[in-house]
Structure 1
Amino acid sequence: MTKPLTDQVVLVTGGGRGLGAAIATAFAREGARVAINYLKNKGKAEALAKDLGPNALAIKCDVRATDNVASMVREVTETLGAPTTLVHNALADYSFNGDGRDDLKTLTPDHLTSQFETAAIGGLNTIKAVRPGMEEAGFGRIITIGSNLVQNPVVPYHDYTAAKSALLALTRTAAVELGPLGITVNMVSGGLLRTTDASAGTPEAVFDMIADNTPLRRVTTPAEAADSVLFFASPWGRAVTGQNLIVDGGLVFG
């Protein structure tokens, strides 16, 4: 079964800013109903929902908490309809600044746990919450947001990369289990995007270096990464599941 984007109800975690906001905007542009999840950025999320129109909803939820996620999905269902599409984009607070990162001397288990809880456990909670509605409909699209650092950890952001690696594994195992139900599960892995809150601390020289080493000779934008997410939700991606699409202008192959 397929559904055009105009018939989809899309839940975007971490949707109030950065890449998440670009993803929500892209789906709304194509006519989908969009729920914009946020935790701390109420003002940005509500402003975005207002800009996107009556088929958009801003909703607060901590994706790390199972009960909160279940309540969020119930509210989305009551307001917009049962989610047909989940984009798990939520990110624990992070700054991509190689000079300010924790190395193996200063890294603690709490650093890993913080990233893991939002990426992997948040992914599990949201997948479990939307599954019943998707299973009943015989249709579902789940897209997780990863990182090209998993394939090429050129800067060793240990905690962030480990969490995204776990999310990639969950994406692939979920694809195996949910495929027979008509639900596809894929990942879109961006590189350093120009610009989000997380990449705001990145020195300009780093952006220039990435551009110089990328076949397209420029740094990928949030809007460009968001458009790739649409592919997995669209009818054109109906036969694709368990895949990780790297969207970084060709910086990382494979």
Structure 2
Amino acid sequence: MELSEQTVLVTGAGRGLGQGIAASFLAAGSRVVINYRKSATGAQTLAETAGPTKAVALQADVTRPEEVAAMFAAAQQHFGSPVTTVINNALADFSFNGDARATAETIAWEDFDAQFSGSVRGALNTTQCALAGMRSTGFGRVVNIGTNLFLNPVVPYHDYTAAKAALLSLTRTMAADLGPENISVNMVSGGLLRTTDASAGTPDAVFDYIAAATPLRKVTTPAELADAVLFFASPWARAVTGQNLMVDGGLVMN
């Protein structure tokens, strides 16, 4: 299915990377559900700019199954067609500031629980809600947003990294389970992005260090990561599933 024929849900799309991904799908002609939890202004502004035939902003906490179900129903009513493509980008509240991170001595299980809920439970809820519509169209694409930190923990964010590693495992098991129904499940893993709300607290010295260590000598932008997300949703990736693509300028070579 061409990108212009797809109805795409991007979670956590009211700001940062999610907003960049949603904007990229809109530029490709997709119909886009711009999900947000708290960032109403950013989501609604993007939807109004695109127009009602191409975008709708819908509030839902993806960790709550009943809110996710209501969002999918509202999206189908708005566009008259089911969601075919799910981008699991939503992130539990987190700041990429290594100086302020919880260390091995201080981190609590509640920190892990919050990240697992946001990454794994959220992705499970949206994927399960999307299955009926994907099956009815005979087509489905799920792209989960990961991180290069579980291969190169240059800053040891214990809770965030563990949750994204679990999401990679879910990506692969879902790919194996859903592949026979023409539903692919892949992951795009970036490094530190310049700049999102989550990385706004990152010191400039960290950006400079990563840029210097990267073969392309720069820090990846949200728009550059969005390109890879669109690849997995596009016909070019029709034979690709269960994969994790690093988009970090070559910092991690996998």
Please give the TM-score of this superposition, normalised by the length of structure 2: 0.98
Confirm whether residue 79 of structure 1 aligns to residue 78 of structure 2.
Answer: yes
Structure 1: gaps of 5 or more residues: none
Match of 1:175 in 2: 175
Counterpart of 1:49 in 2: which secondary structure? helix
2-side partners of 1:43 and 1:32: how far apart? 21
Superposed CA deviations along residues 55-80 of structure 1, whole A, max 9, x for unmatched, are: 11100001001111111111111112
Question: Which of residues 17, 20, 25 is equivalent to 1:19?
Answer: 17
TM-superposed deviation, 1:129: 0.1
Match of 1:105 in 2: 105
Superposed CA deviations along residues 89-146 of structure 1, whole A, max 9, x for unmatched, are: 0001111111100001110011000010010000100000001110121100000000
Match of 2:68 in 1: 69
TM-superposed deviation, 1:53: 2.3
Structure 2: gaps of 5 or more residues: none
Amino acid at match of 1:207: F
Q: How does 1:141-180 map to 2 (within 5 A)?
A: 141-180=141-180
Match of 1:60 in 2: 59
Superposed CA deviations along residues 127-182 of structure 1, whole A, max 9, x for unmatched, are: 00001110121100000000000111111000000110111110000000000000
Q: How does 1:199-218 map to 2 (within 5 A)?
A: 199-218=199-218
Please give the TM-score of this superposition, normalised by the length of structure 1: 0.98
Match of 2:244 in 1: 244
Counterpart of 2:159 in 1: which secondary structure? helix
1-side partners of 2:123 and 2:42: how far apart? 22
TM-superposed deviation, 1:194: 0.1
Paired residue total:
252
Match of 1:46 in 2: 44
- Which runs of structure 1 show a deviation greater than 4 angstroms over 4 or more consecutive aligned residues? none
Q: CA RMSD in A?
A: 0.6
Counterpart of 1:73 in 2: which secondary structure? helix
Identity %: 59
TM-superposed deviation, 1:231: 0.2
